[in-house]
């Protein structure tokens, strides 16, 4: 089991972490703004795509202020469990306070996706929301292997993020509105997930729209049972 938080080493990861540290106090307001006040609906749909069921164990990587993890804990009920990690300790402190206010028991821990502080085969579902491209490629690849390690046989992984619309005009509008947020495409992860031992890797588009545009997608895979 990995039990020590490993800070990012590359200059790219250090720069990303510094940017995220500056967003701690405004993160929830930012999410409220970009979702036009519909963040709860987005989180519910995320868990739906993750196919999370009552009684299961859930881990969110890059949990931010814990909104998705709290929704997952409420969904899995008394027979399930939820945990969250984030590389920014201040995010973890905010998540713990929010979980206390919500009256739910969640294990929030500082941690890096490429050194998960959990035992092998612990979780049924691991999810990451708007975070998988906020790291260098080596950290991302190692992180996906770590996710594979902590998932049980039959376990699922899901990443949800911004993605370009399919239509030409919608794509042009989205690029103008969201710019660098569309720099990556979730389908880049297909070979990485397959190489890391995931099967049934599929890409899809969320029903959730931002400013009327289909710019949210997901990719998921499964560990062989």
DSSP states of 8-57 as a string?
--SHHHHHHHHHHHHTGGGHHHHHHHHTTT-HHHHHHHHHHHHT--TT-E
Asked if residue 206 belongs to a domain, the reply is yes
State the Cα–Cα distance between residues 186 and 181, nearest whole angstrom: 12
Q: State mean pLDDT over 35-40.
A: 90
pLDDT digits (tens, 9 = 90+) for 114-172: 999 999 999 999 999 999 999 999 999 999 999 999 999 999 999 999 998 887 888 88
What 3-state DSSP class applies to 128?
strand
CB 71 within 8 A of CB 39: no
Asked if residue 6 belongs to a domain, the reply is no
pLDDT digits (tens, 9 = 90+) for 176-194: 888 878 888 999 999 999 9
From the CB of residue 154, how many other CB atoms can be counted at a distance below 10 Å?
10
Asked if residue 5 belongs to a domain, the reply is no
CB 206 within 8 A of CB 218: yes
What's the token pair of residue 211?
A: 């400013």
Domain tally for the chain? 1
Asked if residue 3 belongs to a domain, the reply is no
* CATH number of the domain where residue 127 is located: 3.40.50.150
Chain-centre distance of CA 149, in angstroms? 17
Chain-centre distance of CA 128, in angstroms? 1
Query: What pLDDT was estimated at residue 2?
Result: 52
Helix axes 67-76, 39-50, angle to 10 degrees: 60
Asked if residue 91 belongs to a domain, the reply is yes
Percentage of residues of the chain with pLDDT beyond 70: 96
Residue 9 has pLDDT above 70, yes or no: no
State the Cα–Cα distance between residues 109 and 60, nearest whole angstrom: 11
Asked if residue 123 belongs to a domain, the reply is yes
**Mean of pLDDT over the chain:** 91
Whole-prediction pTM = 0.90
Residue whose C-alpha is closest to residue 127's, from 72, 190, 201: 72
Alpha carbons within 13 angstroms on the beta-carbon side of residue 185 total 12
Range of the domain at 40: 11-223
Q: State mean pLDDT over 51-70.
A: 97
Q: State mean pLDDT over 2-31.
A: 71
Asked if residue 170 belongs to a domain, the reply is yes
Asked if residue 184 belongs to a domain, the reply is yes
């Amino acid at each position: 089991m990995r039990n020590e938080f490993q800070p990012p080493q590359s200059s790219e990861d250090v720069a990303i972490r510094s940017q995220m540290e500056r967003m701690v106090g405004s993160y929830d307001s930012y999410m409220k703004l970009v979702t036009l006040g519909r963040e709860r609906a987005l989180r519910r749909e995320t868990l739906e795509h993750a196919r999370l069921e009552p009684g299961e164990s859930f881990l969110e990587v890059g949990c931010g202020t814990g909104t998705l993890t709290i929704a997952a804990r409420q969904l899995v009920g008394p027979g399930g469990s939820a945990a969250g990690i984030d590389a920014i300790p201040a995010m973890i402190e905010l998540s713990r306070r929010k979980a206390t206010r919500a009256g739910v028991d969640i294990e929030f821990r500082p941690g890096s996706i490429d050194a998960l502080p959990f035992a092998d085969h612990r979780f049924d579902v691991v999810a990451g929301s708007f975070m998988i491209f906020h790291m260098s490629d080596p950290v991302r690849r190692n992180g996906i292997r770590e996710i594979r390690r902590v998932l049980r046989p039959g376990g699922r992984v899901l990443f949800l993020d911004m993605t370009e619309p399919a239509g030409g005009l919608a794509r042009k509008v989205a690029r103008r509105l969201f710019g660098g947020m569309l720099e990556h495409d979730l389908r880049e992860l297909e070979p990485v997930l397959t190489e890391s031992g995931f099967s049934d890797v599929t890409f899809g588009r969320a029903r959730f729209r931002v400013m009327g545009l289909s710019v949210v997608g997901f990719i998921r895979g499964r560990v062989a049972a």
